[in-house]
Amino acid sequence: MDTDTIAAISTPMGEGGIAVIRVSGPEAVSIADKIYKGKKSLASVPSHTVNYGFIIDPESKERIDEVLVTVMRAPRTFTREDVVEISCHGGMIPVERTLEALLATGARLAEPGEFTKRAFLNGRIDLSQAEAVMDLIRAKTDRAAKMALGQHEGRLSRMINRLRNEILEVLAHLAVNVDYPEYDAEEMTAKLLRERAQEIEREIERLLSTARQGKIIREGIHTAIVGRPNVGKSSLMNALTQENKAIVTDIPGTTRDVIEEYVNVRGIPLRLLDTAGIRETEDVVERIGVERSRQALEQADLILLVLNYAEPLNEEDRRLLQWVRNHTALVIVNKTDLPRKLDLDQVRELSGDLPIITTSLKEERGIEDLEEAISRLFKLGKVDMADGTYVSNARHIHLLKKALESVREVLNGIDAGMPLDMVEIDLKNAWQFLGEVIGDAVAEDLIDQIFSQFCLGK
């Protein structure tokens, strides 16, 4: 277990109103005291108080910044260690100098996610809650934040714990039967076991069924805008990003090679793919022809196909229509301010059941309708977040699937008349997989890997 004291800047880098430096560990208060000057020493103030004072350079003794220092003694803190939070006035220089001063007087620079890792290791939160902290940091819409918050509050953990307890009960029952084979009719136990296993199967299935929605809320809808040159793809991109305040993401460690923009359309996070590609490669034939672009398009959750109202349908439009028919897509007929040359009946025929929206991006008409169509398509408006337990994390989904497989093995085993102590093994596996979701029995390197995805200071 770590016993040193760590420090890091906990607020995003850059010019801000205030910046917070967090210190955690057994020496947190005494280290902070060495660089703090206020009415009283931090060692003498009560826990959970905010204290006004100054940060003093330990060498030159000059004032670095005017600060508010929150002292929180263990165990009622995020890490369950002594925690000191220093709110600086902002501007990077005083913040960085304060951090340097802390490092010079005995603190160690925290690794990314180390505060949260300590909270986990000290039993303050379980692994799914820790992961939720990361989701919360990355949340791009209110909904995503709420979902992460629900998970952070332990909703998923409670669910998993309940399932595991149910399995434990069954296992206990089985143990009795296996230990005293003469005691009961094995048949009775098998019948009961079957019922219980089915219940557990249903509950895991229900959790997994939230995964698609959860993934959408968490990661956004991968959206591609396609259409031949000059139909208004870039204009559409601009309209969507201007209407819906593009969300700035500055998450360290995220891949930068895929260019995409986030927009928030009525609470639905759209991830507009490869915008640079759309902007620069005006040749759609080339775009779609290139294998990589095609793959990106195939992986899109939503395709927006733009057609030109002022030109007749050409071969390329037809090909695109043909192709999008098998996808979740919307057809957008743009430039309705110009005289019509497009045969709309033909478009309707070729679009199958796809919704068709008419727009004039130049005159800013039809954008509302488009947003309405998008929100109808993904129906998130109907999802009740209040009691929703969402599974959105790929690791959790994977483990739940494994648990489900194991439970199904149990059911198959019973039906095949396998001895119950064989069936028991699969049930134990299910219990194990569920445990990994909340960090029970997770290998240490996996824990390190999960926490290293956090940004610094969390």
Strand order in the sheet with 36-38: 36-38, 49-56, 63-72, 83-88, 19-24, 6-9, 108-109
From 107, 127, 361, 399, residue interacting with ligand GDP (rule: CB under 6 A) = 361
Would you count residue 402 as binding ligand GDP (CB under 6 A)?
Answer: no
Question: At which residue do the structure tokens 């895929």 appear?
Answer: 258
Q: Is the peptide bond before 112 cis (omega within 30 degrees of 0)?
A: no
Would you count residue 362 as binding ligand GDP (CB under 6 A)?
Answer: yes
Residue-level length of the chain: 458
Measured at the alpha carbon of residue 165, what is the angle toward residues 159 and 167, in degrees to the nearest 5?
A: 105
Would you count residue 455 as binding Zn ion (CB under 5 A)?
Answer: yes
Would you count residue 113 as binding ligand GDP (CB under 6 A)?
Answer: no
User: Per-residue b/e over 193-218, b at no fewer than 16 CB within 10 Å?
Assistant: bbebbeebbebbeebbebbebbbbbb
CB of 356 to ligand GDP, least distance (A): 15
Q: How many residues bind Zn ion (CB under 5 A)?
A: 1
Of 429 and 453, which has the nearer Cβ to Zn ion? Answer: 453
CB of 283 to ligand GDP, least distance (A): 10
What is the DSSP code string of 274-294?
THHHHHH---HHHHHHSHHHH
Which range of residues in 108-116, 201-209, 318-326, 449-457 is near Zn ion by CB under 5 A? 449-457
* DSSP H helical ranges for 71-226: 92-104, 114-121, 127-138, 142-152, 155-179, 186-209, 211-219
Site string for ligand GDP, 322-341 (x = CB under 6 A): ------------xx-xx---
Q: Which of ligand GDP, Zn ion, none is residue 446 near (CB under 5 to 8 Å by kind)?
A: none
Q: Which of ligand GDP, Zn ion, none is residue 220 near (CB under 5 to 8 Å by kind)?
A: none
CB of 23 to ligand GDP, least distance (A): 51
Strand order in the sheet with 268-273: 260-265, 268-273, 221-226, 302-308, 329-334, 356-359
CB of 9 to Zn ion, least distance (A): 9
Site string for ligand GDP, 226-255 (x = CB under 6 A): -x-xxxxxxx--------------------
CB of 276 to ligand GDP, least distance (A): 12
Of 150 and 232, which has the nearer Cβ to ligand GDP? Answer: 232
Q: 19 Cβ partners below 8 Å, 6+ apart?
A: 9, 11, 87, 88, 90, 92, 95
Site string for ligand GDP, 272-301 (x = CB under 6 A): ----------x-------------------
Would you count residue 360 as binding ligand GDP (CB under 6 A)?
Answer: yes
Contact 144, 269 (CB under 8 A): yes
Contact 160, 433 (CB under 8 A): no
Q: Which residues bind Zn ion (CB under 5 A)?
A: 455
Residues in contact with ligand GDP by CB under 6 A are: 227, 229-235, 282, 334-335, 337-338, 360-362
